[in-house]
Structure 1
C-alpha cells in the first residue's frame, strides 16, 4: 500500500512527537556533534538554520554553537508566492509569529543564496541518499532550486525513510548530505 506525501508527513510528525524526551535529547546531541565535525560546517562563514518547532530537532544549540564560533547565522522569512529569504540573526533581532505559528525575523540584513555557505535543511523525513519529505509548502524546494551551496540535513532514527517510500516529484530538491545515527 502506498501513502500520499500528506499521509506520510502526518505519520512522521506523530512519530517525532511520541519520542522519549531523554532518548531524543541524546540523539540530537550526537547529531549536532556529527554536524560540527563536517568539513562543510567547519568551512562555513554563513550558515542557514531554522528556528525549530516543538516536534523538530532543536536548532537552538546549533545556532548558539555557530554564533559562539563566530559564524553568521541566517534564518528564513517567508514571502508571498511561497518564496522565502534568509535574514541575519543577531542579539537584537525582533520576531513576529506567522499564521503557521513560526517565528520569523522582522528586520535585519538579507543574505542572498550566493552568500550562504551551508544550509541545514529541515524536513519531516529523509532517505540516506538525500530525498526529503518537507512540510508541504514547497518553500525550501523553491529556494534550493536556486541555491548552489552545501546542504546538510539531520535525521533522527525515526525520521529515516526507506528509498522509494514516497515518489519524488519534479520540483523536489535533494539534500547534499543526510547525517544519521546509523552505524557505518
Structure 2
C-alpha cells in the first residue's frame, strides 16, 4: 500500500521527534564529520544552509564550522509565490519571524543561484537516489530547478527511505547525493 506524501511526512516527523536525544546528537556529529570530508564541502566558498527547526538536523554546528573555515554562509528568505532567495549570514544580520514561525534574515546581500557552490538541502526523508520528502511547500524544488551548483542532503538513519517509497512528482528535484552514516 502506497501512502501519500502528507502521511509519510507526518510519520517521518514523528520518528524524528521520538529519537533519543543522545543518539540524535551522536548521529548528527557523525554526519557533520562525514560532510566536512566531502570534496563538495572542501571546494565550496559559498554554502547555502537553513536555520534549522526543532526536529530538523541542527545546522548551527555546520554554520559555525563553515564560518570558522572562512566560507560564506547564505540562508533562505521566502518570497511571494513560494519562491526563495539566499541571503548572506553575518554577525550583524537581523531576523524577522515569518508566519510559519521561521526566522529569516531581514537584510543582507542576496546571492544568486550561480554564486552558491554548495547547497545543503533539508527534508524529512530521503531516498538513496536523491529524492527528498520536504516540508510540503515546494520552495527547494522551485529553487533547485535553476540551481547548477552541488546539492547534498544529510539523512539520519530514521530519515532514510526506500527508493520508490513515494512517487516523485514532475516538479520534484533530486539532490546530487544523500549523505548517510553508512559512509562512515
TM-score w.r.t. structure 1 length? 0.99
Once the two structures are superposed, residues 93-134 of structure 1 have per-residue CA deviations (whole angstroms, 9 ceiling, x without a partner) of: 000111111100000000000000000000010011101111
Q: Residue 2 of structure 1: CA displacement? A: 1.1
Per the alignment, residue 28 of structure 1 pairs with 28
Tell me what 2:63 maps to.
Answer: 63
**Structure 1 regions of 5+ residues with no counterpart?**
none
Query: Once structures 1 and 2 are overlaid, which stretch shifts more, 126-135 or 107-116?
Result: 126-135
1:152 Cα deviation after fit: 0.4
| Structure 2 equivalent of residue 156 of structure 1 | 156
Question: What SS does structure 2 have at the residue aligned with 1:148?
Answer: coil
Unpaired runs of 5+ residues, structure 2, are none
Q: Which runs of 4+ in 1 moved over 3 A?
A: none
- Matches of 2:99 and 2:179, distance apart in 1: 31
| RMSD, aligned CA | 0.8
Query: What aligned pairs does 1:171-182 form with structure 2 within 5 A after superposition?
Result: 171-182=171-182
What's the offset of the Cα at 1:182?
2.1
Offset of 1:183 from its aligned partner? 6.0
* CA distance in structure 2 between the aligned counterparts of 1:123 and 1:137, rounded to whole angstroms: 11
Q: Distance in 2 between matches of 1:172 and 1:56?
A: 20
In 1: Cα distance, 2:131 partner to 2:100 partner: 24
Alignment coverage as a number of residue pairs = 184
